[in-house]
Amino acid sequence: MPGSELRAPQQEAMSPPRRVLVTGATGLLGRAVCREFEGGGWAVIGTGFRRAKPRLLRCDITDEDAVRALLQEYRPDVVVHCAAERRPDVMEHHSEAAVHLNVHATSTLAKEAAAGGALLLYISSDYVFDGRNPPYGEDDSPSPLNLYGRSKLEGERETLRHCPGGLVLRVPVLYGQVQSVGESAVTSLWETLQTGEDRGLDHLMKRHPTHTEDVAAVCRKICERAREDPSVRGVFHFSAKEQMTKYEMAVCIAEAFNLPTGHLIPLTEQPPPQQFALRPMNSQLSCCRLEQLNLSVEPRPFRAAVQTCLWPFTPDKLWRQTVFH
């Protein structure tokens, strides 16, 4: 098969498990989604590209032929599309490649999923909204401020246009079990805390940091329900409830680890658009649709959850790993 290196695990002859294909399985959310579905008894087929690892398939999802061959060979029941360029500032400078991944690859996946009878769940973003009138319900009109938001909105439209029974799940900024602290905009604040140098942090834009394991649980629940109930389709929102600025996140992390915060400077003016992609002031998501269908999960508290995520990167933990391994 073009673009592949490994086959999916052998299926049991008598009772084949349900199969889920997870794109971006090497990424922050993709890893959590794979673990969640595996724990739920699904046969998981994970794909990656530049960072593909053992037990995962290497597939360039911007290659239409490779995507077609992948779905025809493994015939998944569900496709969870996590792969994306998610960095707004990067998108502004590498727009063609990013749009190719966020929009065109999504269109191909939607067409092939529909052709093979698979359910497609597309992971989208709260950045499809402009942040001027929160909270936003699933039926509110999107109005993205930057290229990243526009590309995610176009990905939503391609999903629902080519795969009428498809699902869209919009989520806010994510954090979780990271391989490096820079993998999430939330855990990357750890590096700021470690330097001890004066650092200005945004204290204007409201965010709702959400754990990937909570998102993954919602993904599994919504896919399992949608396969049983054809009326479960369209756009859904999931978000944690705690509202924080980047400055407040950093202070919370510091307090969790008894670190000083005096060098953190709250910034209350938006940076010039020439320096960074515009971002919404408050793109809070209303999650009523999931809650009405009893498909939501209770988000884990930020302080305890982020402490667990960052504990492996504390000096004592790193020293012990070096000594004993």
* Separation of alpha carbons 291 and 22, rounded Å: 25
Burial string for 23-62 (b: 16+ CB within 10 Å, else e) reads bbbbbbbbbbbbebbbebebbbbbbbbeebeeebbbbbbe
* Separation of alpha carbons 128 and 125, rounded Å: 6
Active-site residue flag, 175: no
Which residues, 6+ apart, have CB-to-CB distance to 74 below 8 Å? 8, 19, 21, 45
- Of the residues 122, 148, 175, 247, which is catalytic? 148
How far, in Å, are 35, 92, 135 from residue 207 at the CA level? 26, 21, 12
CB 59 within 8 A of CB 46: no
3 state SS of 221: helix
* Separation of alpha carbons 159 and 234, rounded Å: 9
The backbone torsions φ and ψ at residue 204, rounded to the nearest 5 degrees and listed phi first, read -125, -50
* Separation of alpha carbons 87 and 216, rounded Å: 20
Which residues, 6+ apart, have CB-to-CB distance to 156 below 8 Å? 122, 124, 128, 168, 235
CB 66 within 8 A of CB 2: yes
Catalytic positions, written as ranges: 148
